[in-house]
Each structure stands twice: as C-alpha cells, then as structure tokens.
Structure 1
C-alpha cells in the first residue's frame, strides 16, 4: 500500500471515531484538517523547487529559440516571396532585349525606340532594386546549379566550358531563380 492510500485510510478511521452523538461528523473541521495534512504531505522540497525552476528556465529558452527561428523563417519567406513574380517579369525583360537587338540601325535614334530603351532600363532598375542580379555564363565552367545545357558542341575551348548563352541566368539575393540556357563545349573527336 502506498503512502497516500495509507494516510487516507488513517484520516477516514479518525473521522469515524470523532462522530458526534447524532452520527454525523463536522465536515468543515474535517475538510480543514485534511487540507492542512495534504499541504504538509506535499510541501515542496528545495530539490523539487530547483527542478521546477530549471524546467521553467529550459522551457523559456526553448520558447525564445522557437521565436527567433520563426522570425528568421518569416524574414526568409518575405525575402523570396516575390521570386515567382520576378521570374515571370524576366520573360518580359527578355522580350525587350530581343526586340531591341533586332531594331535596324536607321531606326535606332527614333523617339519610340528611345522610349523602349527607357522602359527596359527602368524595368531592369526596379528588378535590381529588389535584389535581382544577372549571372554571366560565357567562358565559365558548366555549373548544373546555374546552367541548363541545351546543346553540346565540339570546340577548341576546354571541355565543359559555356560557349554560348541562349538565355541569361538570374539570382535573387544569391539564390538562382532562373538558370541560364547554354551550349557547352566538348572535345573535338579526332579521326
């Protein structure tokens, strides 16, 4: 029999002995005595107080770490929340680049062409202000994290070198949001 059960039986026997002449006990008196006894039976020791204090400190530190981690995740999410929109705007920027590259020389000084140049420049400035960076690929070794090979061509360049860029790569805050589409050099076959 455990200590609490034994103590409860003792209190019950004591209550039965103290019954009044009508067979009833004084409930208020018994309740007060039982509460006082329970309080002394379960009085916290210095060890339990120390253990509870340590648990509280640990839980406080855990919660603080959780809050910091959550704030960092939110900041990271906010930093890259616009990545999808920017990636879609890159198609428009590519369209401007292609259109401006095909303008005949005799039309380059016309006002509407200058307007197109201004729009392209403004769009590029806005995207760069948001953290967008163009990645140069020509002459660099092929990197599968930054490049998408669309062709391999025999060349005098070292094998695995990017020799043509079909579409530019872009990073947003050091994360590649669009890889470059490139042609990669391979060794010439000797016959």
Structure 2
C-alpha cells in the first residue's frame, strides 16, 4: 500500500493543524464563556440563585450555544453520519466538564468558604479552565471524529512463480494484437 505526504503528514504539519484547531476551539469556547458568565451573573445577582444552581444553569446554556459553534464551524468537516451518537457523546462529555467546573466552585465556596462574588468568579474561572481542557480532548477524540481518508488501492502483488506466467501471457496478447492488426 502506497503512502503519500498528504495521508501521512509530518509532525510539524500535525502540530500546525492542532494549533489551528485549538485556536478555533478557543474562539467557540470564548463565546461560550461570555454566555456562561453572563447567565451566571444574572442568576446570582438578578435571580438571587445559589452559586451552584447558577453555575449549572449558565453552563447548560453555554453547552447549547457551543454545540452549534463546534458542529457547524470548527468540526464541520468531521463525520456527521450519526448525529444521535454525536449529540449523546457531546452532552455526556459536556456534563462531565460541567461537573469538573461545578466541583471546583463547590469546593471553593463550601469547603474553603470563599463565597464573595469575586471569589466565586475566580473559582468559576479555575473550574472552567480544567473543564475546557477535558472537553477539548474528549470532543476531538470521541465526539467529532475525523472522517477517515480514502485509502488508495494498491495493485495486487503477483506471486513470483506466477509473474513469469503473467509476463508470458502479456507477450501472447501483444503478439495476437499484432497478428490481428496485420490481418485487418
């Protein structure tokens, strides 16, 4: 089977592609962070909800907006054959990321007693950073899987003993074509 440079990129090309993907992931994630923090702030200050409830509500809204960015912009060229599987895995890994984020906030508020709005936002930033690393790895690995590149069919190898027979048959065919061409 023959390999080409396109199907077997160098380490530099892989890192360049990964860094571009990470930048786009960051842009979609940044829009989700803006949504997340805006909803969190409204829930805490406007609706006077507890910090963990506010965090869960904010993260759920951000998850919904991020899915649209990931599916239709960042990973639009990835395999979308099974949307049900994709959405299920996206929600599963997003939920795990939300648990990471909420866990950091919960430890900060309830175990460490850091409950001012500024301290809660700082804990939210830390939890969001940990959750984001987890999401990036899981989304690109399991949720938005790359479409496999088509493999070029290699010509079938002819066993050594049969190679002589094949060469002889080709000579016979060539001679026959010449004979037919002269007869016409």
Q: TM-score, normalised by structure 2?
A: 0.29
Greater strand fraction, Structure 1 or Structure 2: 1
Greater helix fraction, Structure 1 or Structure 2: 2
Q: TM-score, normalised by structure 1?
A: 0.28
Bigger-Rg structure (1/2): 1
